[in-house]
Structures are given as C-alpha cells and as structure tokens.
Amino acid sequence: MSLHGRDVISIRDLSREEIEEILSSARKMVPYAEGTKVMHPLEDKIVAMAFFEPSTRTRLSFEAAVQRLGGSCITIADAGASSMRKGESLHDTIRMLSSYAEAIVIRHPNEGSARLAARASDRPVINAGDGAGQHPTQTLLDLATMLESFDTLTGLKVVLLGDLKYGRTVHSLAYALALFGSELVLTSPPSLGLPEEVVERLEHLGAKVSVEPDVHKAVHDSDVLYVTRIQKERFPDETDYRKVAGSYRIDAGVLREAKPRLIVMHPLPRAGEISPEVDDTPHAAYFRQAFLAVPVRMALLNLILGAAKKGG
C-alpha cells in the first residue's frame, strides 16, 4: 500500500516493507538534509506543526525537513497561547488546522491524541509524540541510524538499556527491531523491566529476547547499545535513584569490552547516562542519530505528501 496521504500514528501502522521504503528514501535524502543538494517537492505545500507541549528537537527537525523540501510551516508552539486555552477541543483545533495545511504534525501530552487528530482531520496526520504513547518517527530515525552503521537490521544484537517499563520510545523500537529479526538484550533495573506482555508480543513476532542486568556483560558482544533515560520520579527514594543511575552510566570503562563497531545511541537529551568522554569515541552515534531525524522526516513527508489526497 502506498504511503501517499496516509496517517502515521504508531509504528504498528507501517508494514516492514513500508518501513524499508522510508529508510531507503531517508538514505537518499541525506545530502538534501545537509543542504549540499536541493529538491523542492513540497513547494506550495504547507505543513501545520501542532505542538501542544514543549519540544525543541522534534519540532525543529520537522520544520527543517519541511523547509529543506521547499514547503512552509504554520506552527502552534505554545498550547498556552492557543485557542485550546479558551476551551476549544483538540478535535476542533485539528479540524480547523486541516483546512489550512496539507498535513499536520502533532505532539500532545495525552496518549491517543494523535489518533483522535487523524480522525478529526481529512489531511494526513503524523504523530510526533502523544504523552507516554507513540512516537513513530523516533523509531524510524533510530532504525535509520542502525542501518547507516551496519547496512542491515537483521541479525543485529541490540541492547536496550535503562527504563524499559515506562520508556516511550523503547517499546516501539523493540517492536520494529523484532519485525526485522534483530536480537534484543534487555538491561534495566529490576523495577523498570520491559513489561511481560511486551516481551510476549516480541517473542510472538519471532524475536530472540534475553535479559542481562549487568551492563558490562550485555555490551560484550553486541552491535548497538541503546541508552534511555532513567527518570528520578520512578523511584520513591533519591538514594535508590542515584545508586541505579550510577550503575547504568556508560563511560569508557563500560565500552572497553565492547566490539570496535558497537554504536551507542540515545534519543537525547541525555541527563548523565552517557559520560561526555564517550562523545569523541567511534562508538558515539547519538549526534548522528539526532541529525538523521531530518532526512528521515523528509523522506516520510515526501512519501506522504504526494499528489494524492488522504486515502488515495
């Protein structure tokens, strides 16, 4: 099925083939995202950025993507200043926006808001994060980063480290990696493990999943170390938090045992999970990962915003 005119709300909305199509297009977009080549397929097109909660990285990379493709943006960047403060429903706000723009990118603090927006809009809607729910373009750029480093996703051994229970990005990423036949190693404090039902679904997809609480052992023969934040508010006691956060900090010592080609990824912003000394090693892939947000979002916008309308 073509991606023309489609909503992208959850990574589950995309088949493996569609994900491959986006990733392959994203690779070709890299020079256009860097500005060394120019293309304007979205000329005369407007994309609405409906950001109902603060976000720097996601909004700016979407805006950069639209502008690199020759389109323009209209933006709600502060929900407090929008009509929602006057009591307008999200449904009505989106309905109005869909008459102003060819597509809507939404970030909103409530889970399921992007799905609601897609129903309210007759233009395609892209979810840029709904509360603790889905953030499919983050997963796509994570996959793009691994693909750029290894040329394949199949057979990669990926350590998912940190808060695997509440982490928004990690469930979608694990699902997508399972689709591509990657091997998953789960490294987290016991209270923040990947929920059992999620593990079952991954295994149902054929993924090989193992648990290794010791980060040194987990890293040993892996290809990717995907680090997420462990949030202080998940712990009743600050001392417990410090102990756990300290034991999962990635520094040169942890990486000494790693394969030379291991890449360290992080959705950023980091808060001490990765020591700055890692930045200058060949393992550090998180800034590249942040850059790849632009070509990935360009690829997605370009595939969605063709000549066809929604559903076409």
Partner 1 sequence: MVRELKITPIKNGTVIDHITSGLALEVLRIINVQSLDKDSTVSVAIRVRSGKLGWKDIVKVENMELSPRKVNAIALVTPRATISIIRDFKVQEKRSVDLPDRIVGILKCPNTNCISNQPEPVESEFEVTERRPVVLTCAYCERRVESFLDHLT
Catalytic machinery residues: 57-58, 86, 107, 135
Residues 3-22 that bind partner 1 (CB under 8 A): 10
C-alpha to C-alpha distance for 157 and 216, rounded to whole angstroms: 15
C-alpha to C-alpha distance for 173 and 162, rounded to whole angstroms: 14
Among 41, 70, 131, 181, binds partner 1 (CB under 8 A): 131
Closest by Cα among 221, 199, 201 to 210: 199
Q: Select 28 or 95, whichever has its Cβ closest to partner 1.
A: 95
Residue 202 in contact with partner 1, rule: CB under 8 A: no
Among 107, 108, 157, 297, binds partner 1 (CB under 8 A): 108
Site string for partner 1, 64-83 (x = CB under 8 A): --------------------
Residue 130 in contact with partner 1, rule: CB under 8 A: yes
Residue 89 in contact with partner 1, rule: CB under 8 A: yes
Q: Which residue has the tokens 């199949």?
A: 154
Q: In the complex, what is the shortest distance from the CB of residue 79 to partner 1, in angstroms, rounded to a whole number?
A: 13
Residue 90 in contact with partner 1, rule: CB under 8 A: yes
Residue 119 in contact with partner 1, rule: CB under 8 A: yes
Among 38, 74, 132, 308, binds partner 1 (CB under 8 A): 132
C-alpha to C-alpha distance for 310 and 312, rounded to whole angstroms: 5
Piece of the chain touching partner 1 by CB under 8 A; list 29-37, 132-140, 182-190, 283-291: 132-140
Structure tokens at 277: 């000394």
Q: Which residue has the tokens 């009591």?
A: 87
Residue 289 in contact with partner 1, rule: CB under 8 A: no
Where does residue 110 fall: left (phi above 0), alpha (psi -120 to 50 degrees), or beta otherwise?
Answer: beta
Q: In the complex, what is the shortest distance from the CB of residue 45 to partner 1, in angstroms, rounded to a whole number?
A: 27
C-alpha to C-alpha distance for 299 and 284, rounded to whole angstroms: 24
Q: Select 13 or 20, whichever has its Cβ closest to partner 1.
A: 13
Q: Select 133 or 189, whichever has its Cβ closest to partner 1.
A: 133
Closest by Cα among 123, 125, 101, 124 to 113: 125
Q: Select 64 or 84, whichever has its Cβ closest to partner 1.
A: 84
Piece of the chain touching partner 1 by CB under 8 A; list 129-137, 206-214, 235-243, 288-296: 129-137
**Is residue 299 within 8 Å of 29, Cβ to Cβ?**
yes
Q: Which residues of 237-270 are buried (b: 16+ CB within 10 A; e: fewer)?
A: eeeebeebbeebebeeebbeebeeebbbbbbeeb
C-alpha to C-alpha distance for 211 and 173, rounded to whole angstroms: 17
Q: Which residue has the tokens 């995309």?
A: 14
Among 127, 134, 137, 138, binds partner 1 (CB under 8 A): 134
Q: In the complex, what is the shortest distance from the CB of residue 40 to partner 1, in angstroms, rounded to a whole number?
A: 35
Among 5, 133, 136, 267, binds partner 1 (CB under 8 A): 133
C-alpha to C-alpha distance for 154 and 123, rounded to whole angstroms: 34
The secondary structure element, H or E, covering residue 211 is: strand 208-211
Site size toward partner 1, by CB under 8 A: 20
Among 17, 151, 196, 197, binds partner 1 (CB under 8 A): 197
Q: In the complex, what is the shortest distance from the CB of residue 12 to partner 1, in angstroms, rounded to a whole number?
A: 8
C-alpha to C-alpha distance for 25 and 39, rounded to whole angstroms: 13
Give the footprint of partner 1 on this chain (CB under 8 A).
10, 89-92, 108-113, 115-116, 119, 130-134, 197
